A and B are shown apart, each in its own frame.
Chain A
Amino acid sequence: EMQLVESGGGLVQPGGSLRLSCAASGFTFSTYWMHWVRQAPGKGLVWVSRINSDGSRTIYADSVKGRFTISRDNAKNTLYLQMNTLTAEDTAVYYCAREGGGLSLYMDVWGKGTTVTVSP
Chain B
Amino acid sequence: SSELTQDPAVSVALGQTVRITCQGDSLRRFDATWYQQKPGQAPVLVIYNKNNRPSGIPDRFSGSGSGNTASLTITGAQAEDEADYYCNSRDTIIDHLVFGGGTKLTVL
Contact B49 A104 (CB under 8 A): yes
Known: A95-B43, A104-B90. A47 touches B97 (CB 8 A): yes
Asked if A45 and B31 make an inter-chain contact with CB atoms under 8 angstroms apart, the answer reads no
A11 to B89, CA, bound (A): 32
The segment out of A18-26, A77-85, A108-116 that lies at the interface is A108-116
A113 to B89 CA separation, bound complex (whole angstroms)? 21
- Give the size range of A's interface with the partner: 20 to 34
Judged by a CB distance under 8 angstroms, whether A50 is at the interface is yes
User: Do residues B35 and A45 form an inter-chain contact, with CB atoms below 8 A?
Assistant: yes
Question: What number of B residues sit within 8 Å (CB to CB) of A?
Answer: 30
B86 in contact (CB, < 8 A): yes
The answer to whether B45 touches A47 (Cβ under 8 A) is no
Within 8 Å CB of B33, what residues of A? 104-107
* A 85-111 to B, binary, CB cutoff 8 A, 1 in contact else 0: 000000000010100101111111011
Residues of A contacting B1 with CB < 8 Å? 62
Q: Which of B42, B45, B94, B101 contacts A106 (CB 8 A)?
A: B45
Q: Chain A nearest CB: distance from B81 CB in Å?
A: 18
Shortest beta-carbon distance from B21 to chain A in Å: 16
B80 at the interface (CB under 8 A from A): no
Find out whether the CB atom of B86 lies under 8 angstroms from the CB atom of A44: yes
Find chain B residues with CB under 8 A from A37 CB.
Answer: 43, 99
A106–B48 contact, CB under 8 A?
Answer: yes
Chain A nearest CB from B89 CB (Å) reads: 7
List 22 A–B pairs whose Cβ atoms lie within 8 Å, in order of A's numbering. A44-B86, A44-B99, A45-B35, A46-B99, A47-B88, A47-B99, A59-B95, A61-B96, A103-B30, A103-B31, A104-B30, A104-B89, A105-B33, A105-B97, A106-B33, A106-B45, A106-B49, A107-B33, A107-B45, A107-B88, A108-B48, A111-B42
Closest 10 CB pairs of A and B: A106-B48, A106-B33, A47-B97, A44-B102, A110-B42, A104-B31, A45-B99, A44-B101, A108-B45, A112-B42
